[in-house]
């Protein structure tokens, strides 16, 4: 049993840590193993989503900063200190970085929580997952191998997996530490050198982990982090001719620009572009198991999750029972400041709060009923970007609530009559990232898992502790390529074929 007083003291301590770590500090870029302010001296204010107040600053980088980072990564790659280092040794350094993250766990969790607005418990889970990425890829670094290919007598053919070279990665604000872990862990394990451009809205954990990477033994120039706006620094990195590969997580609109920029330099890219993920609940589903998972899948990180279960497809015979259960749950949900550890924190920026409010207005204009809503705590700090969790339904399948990614704590409930209609509704969006199926019928679950166009399908569950080992990516507008698991290693490498004629 949790001692409430002890837990509240723990939360207060972490909140204080985040203030001490970030207070009045201007965070520098990490370029070639050094901490460098932007060449122009420009800065960007970092605003806490819980109260809307500035609490530190980051570098506002431009062309010279991006050039310096890419040049540093190129020198490091060509020098071969990392790219030609035995995979076993690279893996040991990555595992050492995981240890450094564990050693700084409380500070990193407090920083992530204040920076993004997510409750401390969620930030702690994120930092745990981040360390696990480096543990996983540290252990996998020397497990990647090629193949031999049968040829006529006198020839021997083999394949090798080699790093792309210099990789640019643009990381979003919703899970900065976790997404850094899955990108940097896989990219470094394969011997690449990286330039990271994190989101300007939340990126302090990325900068801190880059510092820890240097302490862990990652050589200068191998991992560089340059902060700035997406319109300037992000665009400059995406189009930089010094890159060999690029990864991006974010909106489909920006993903299109990234892919065009990559095409201009004839390089490949991995794109993870969000989703409108369905949870399909049949009349034989175990509601006791399903309801808490379905609720959490839309309020986690205030719904600002690419894999959020934002559409709930419910068999018509189960509608009333499911609705009664969800109304009870939503009525008890509370949004509050990050350090309070409520059900959910604020949205990350004022713009994001306005975006979510815009979808609410569209639903109101379309007369889509509000079935249930949580609340914003009375003691939530003024100036914060809060949104109450809201359940809509029945939602027309062609409405914005059913088709577009809200990226907020908004759940759309749609009825269906049979398997055929369930599959049709599940696939009836431009996205295809994740899906959840809730049924006791094993044959049915496999039929639907094969029929739904999604990169991940969960049966009687949704998510798996961060899913570090599970390939992640989507179909259609959700992007292409895969991160996480061994697929992530393959994504950060190219196949080389060697053929020997030995007579």
Whether 36 is a known active-site residue: answer no
Whole-Å CA distances, 463 to 127, 332, 501, 503: 17, 23, 49, 53
Q: Are 129 and 181 in contact (CB under 8 A)?
A: yes
CA–CA separation, 29 and 26 (whole Å): 10
Tokens 């062609």 belong to 398
CA–CA separation, 214 and 391 (whole Å): 46
- Residue 99's Cβ-count burial label (10 Å; 0-12, 13-18, 19+) is middle
CA–CA separation, 28 and 330 (whole Å): 42
DSSP-derived 3-state class of residue 313: strand
CA–CA separation, 248 and 260 (whole Å): 12
Residues whose CB falls within 8 Å of the CB of residue 209, separated by 6 or more in sequence, listed in order = 97, 101, 108, 130, 177, 180, 181, 184
Q: Which of 124, 272, 405, 491 is catalytic?
A: 272
- For the chain, the maximum distance between any two Cα atoms, rounded to a whole number of angstroms, is 82
Q: Are 205 and 21 in contact (CB under 8 A)?
A: no
Residues with catalytic function: 272
């Amino acid at each position: 049993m949790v001692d409430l007083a002890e837990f509240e003291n723990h939360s207060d301590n972490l909140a204080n840590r985040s203030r001490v770590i970030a207070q009045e500090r201007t965070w520098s870029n990490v370029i070639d193993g050094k901490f460098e302010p932007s060449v122009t001296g420009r800065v960007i204010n970092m605003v806490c989503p819980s109260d809307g107040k500035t609490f530190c600053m980051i570098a506002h980088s431009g062309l010279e900063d991006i050039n310096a980072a890419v040049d540093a990564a190129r020198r490091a790659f060509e020098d071969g200190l990392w790219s030609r280092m035995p995979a076993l040794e690279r893996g040991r350094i990555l595992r050492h970085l995981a240890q450094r993250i564990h050693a700084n766990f409380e500070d990193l969790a407090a920083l992530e929580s204040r920076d993004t607005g997510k409750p401390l418990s969620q930030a702690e889970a994120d930092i745990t997952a981040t360390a696990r990425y480096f543990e996983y890829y540290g252990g996998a670094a020397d497990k990647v191998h090629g193949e031999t290919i049968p040829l006529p007598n006198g020839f021997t053919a083999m394949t090798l997996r080699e790093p792309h070279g210099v990789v640019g990665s643009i990381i979003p604000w919703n899970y900065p530490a976790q997404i850094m872990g899955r990108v940097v862990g896989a990219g470094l394990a394969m011997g690449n050198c990286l330039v990271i451009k994190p989101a300007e809205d939340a990126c302090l954990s990325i900068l801190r982990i880059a510092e820890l990477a240097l302490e862990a033994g990652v050589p200068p120039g191998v991992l560089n982090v340059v902060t700035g706006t997406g319109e300037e620094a992000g665009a400059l990195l995406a189009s930089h001719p010094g890159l060999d590969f690029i990864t991006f997580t974010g909106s489909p609109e920006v993903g299109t620009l990234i892919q065009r920029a990559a095409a201009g330099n004839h390089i490949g890219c991995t794109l993870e572009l969000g989703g409108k993920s369905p949870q399909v609940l049949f009349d034989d589903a175990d509601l006791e198991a399903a309801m808490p998972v379905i609720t959490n899948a839309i309020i986690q990180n205030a719904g600002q999750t690419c894999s959020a279960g934002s559409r709930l497809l419910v068999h018509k015979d189960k509608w009333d029972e499911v609705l009664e259960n969800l109304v009870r749950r939503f009525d008890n949900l509370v949004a509050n400041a990050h350090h309070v550890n409520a059900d959910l924190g604020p949205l990350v920026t004022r713009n994001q709060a306005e975006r979510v409010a815009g979808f609410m207005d569209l639903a109101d204009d379309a007369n889509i009923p509000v079935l249930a809503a949580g609340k914003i705590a009375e003691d939530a700090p003024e100036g914060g970007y809060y949104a109450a969790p809201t359940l809509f339904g029945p939602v027309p399948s062609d409405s914005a609530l059913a088709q577009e990614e809200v990226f907020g704590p908004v759940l759309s409930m749609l009825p269906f009559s049979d398997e055929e209609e369930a599959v049709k509704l599940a696939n009836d969006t431009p996205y295809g990232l994740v899906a959840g199926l809730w049924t006791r019928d094993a044959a049915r679950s496999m039929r639907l898992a094969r029929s739904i166009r999604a990169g991940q399908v969960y049966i009687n569950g949704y998510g798996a502790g961060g899913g570090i080992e599970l390939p992640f990516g989507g179909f259609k507008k959700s992007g292409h390529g895969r991160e996480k698991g061994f697929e992530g290693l393959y994504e950060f490498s190219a196949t080389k074929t060697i053929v020997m004629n030995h007579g």
